[in-house]
Amino acid sequence: MHTTFHTQSDNARFSCSPLEKFTTRLLYLFLSVIMSLSLPGGPAAHSKMAVGAPSASALQRTRRPMVTGSSVLGIKYAGGVMLASDTLCSYGSMAKFKDARRITAIGGRESFDATSGAPLPPSHPTLLGGGGEYSDYQAIVDMLRSDATAEYCADDGHFQSPEETWSYLRAVMYQRRNKMNPLWNDLIVAGCDPTTKVPFLGSVDKIGTAYTDDVMATGFGSYIAVPIMRERFRADMEEGEARALLEDCMRVLFYRDCRALNRIVIAKATADGGCLVSEPYELETSWDAKSFVSDKAGLGTDGGW
Amino acid sequence: MASLYAPPSLRQQHDGKSAETRNLKPGEISSGTTIMAVCFNGGVVLGADSRVSSGTYVVNRVSDKIVQLHERIWCCRSGSAADTQALTDIVKHHLGQISIETGRLPTVAMAAHLMRKLIYGNKDNLMAGVIVGGWDPVEGGSVYNVTLGGSCVRQPFTIGGSGSSYIYGLVDAECRSGMNADECNAFVKKAVSHAMARDGSSGGIIRTVVVTEDGNVRSYTEGNKLPYGP
């Protein structure tokens, strides 16, 4: 079959014919399948992540996370679901990467207008937020993106809902746990169902524990943020309220978690199919209470707390 | 696969824990920290961050790590919070005693060597690294770094704590002789901010004290008004 290659011109993406779009996506699919075959232990495309490396022997320990992300928070509100995380990946105690994106939008329907060829906005993508080992999170995002591309190419009108993605990830994480070679992540899956438009928020951890709830947090957030979110959550919260609540929780996490940063990303998925992952921005913090400023370690004190 | 295997002796030593937490007893609180002191003609400037951590939880985000040992002698604390608080209490007591008996201000060298005797003599049971700095009539301003094992080294400027690793290059490049008090103060704040930006165990606010013959001037730099970062 004769395959056409595109040169990069300004409007190449928006003015190609349906046949060219198809062959480009088919090319990407072939490339991703070929590259996935080179990962250890992976024959079939869909189960390649679940197979993983051969089981560790009794004398070997499981891997330790090297570059890690901290908390991800999630909350449902009236008309959608919202996630928040900071943009820090730590290397042990070092704040190594301060602009790491730990929330990504995956899948959903991308389509082009039949007459003009202009792209329509993507609808009903799934948001994936991850804490834990960053390399494993990136591998999971790549896997889900190539599955979404394969689904697009199948062209059967069906698109995997967020709940289906969450359920699939549960199976993958549990499989790897059984082989004593986990993907060292705590994941949050969020989005709105394409048909029923109901918001979905679910979590999967590195041993395959999966559950859904109206408020969700991973890592330190599960200790510090979840109580705050549970107290202030209402099913009819507006977007601004939900965002303010998430920002308050991220601020407390910045104060109290050694591995947190005050630069955060907020992402939302709405019932009408829209999705937005914001650019990072800095949170305001407060350090000027009088009891903070006063000296505590002068001559007359007890030694400097 | 070979890299997953660590010889038994090494595995006992670190077992995956970071340097600042592996020698702590379970539940012990560390001040994983950035501390710094710089001499100038006429005095010293001492500075420190304010984060006290227990594992990855911030126990106190505005703590005061610069302790006054005597009228013109101060000490920056790093390592185990309990150990350093106990050490500074003892040295404070001794310096007060000495100044009453001799009728003079104690020297910074006295304070540093007292600290060294305590840390060296108990080195198996303590995790404490301190920077002693101040002004005395004999030497003027002076700064001593007393490390984890009990070595006591006098230096024109010195940094310590877990966050100091990240700023050795910066302070080596930026330190000049002949700086005045304000320049030293700005230098300390800049270096400590850079360390706080990269070290997970340092953070919060920056406290500094400028010690001269005439007095001690304390200042407080809020966490959202740091020269750099976070």
Are B63 and A305 inside 8 Å of each other by CB? yes
CA distance A111 to A36: 26
Q: For residues A157 and A105, which has the higher predicted lDDT (pLDDT)?
A: A105
Are A93 and B32 inside 8 Å of each other by CB? yes
- Mutation pick from A61, A96, A292 vs chain B, by most beta carbons of B within 10 Å, is A292
Q: DSSP H helical segments within B45-203, as ranges?
A: 81-102, 108-121, 168-174, 181-198
Q: pTM for this structure?
A: 0.81
Determine whether B122 is exposed, middle or buried from the number of CB atoms within 10 Å of its CB (0-12, 13-18, 19+): middle
- For this structure, is B21 an active site residue? no
CA distance A145 to A134: 16
pLDDT tens digits along A44-73: 445 556 655 555 454 444 578 889 999 999
Pick from A60, A261, A285: CB nearest B223: A285
When pLDDT is averaged across residues B206-212 and rounded to a whole number, the result is 97
Burial A224-255 (b: 16+ CB within 10 A, else e): bbbebbeebbeeebeeebbbebbbebbbbbbb
pLDDT tens digits along A156-203: 878 889 999 999 999 999 999 999 889 999 999 999 998 888 999 999
Pick from B55, B200, B203: CB nearest A94: B200
Please report the pLDDT score of residue A155 as a whole number.
82
For chains A and B, count residue pairs whose Cβ atoms are closer than 8 Å.
97
Q: How far is A162 from chain B (nearest CA, A)?
A: 32
Question: Quick one: tokens of A280?
Answer: 């990072």
Q: What is the ipTM of this complex?
A: 0.84
Instruction: Give me the count of residues in chain B.
Output: 230
Structure letter (DSSP) for residue A46? T
Q: Taking CA atoms, what residue in A is nearest to B202?
A: A258
What is the percent of chain A where pLDDT is above 70? 74
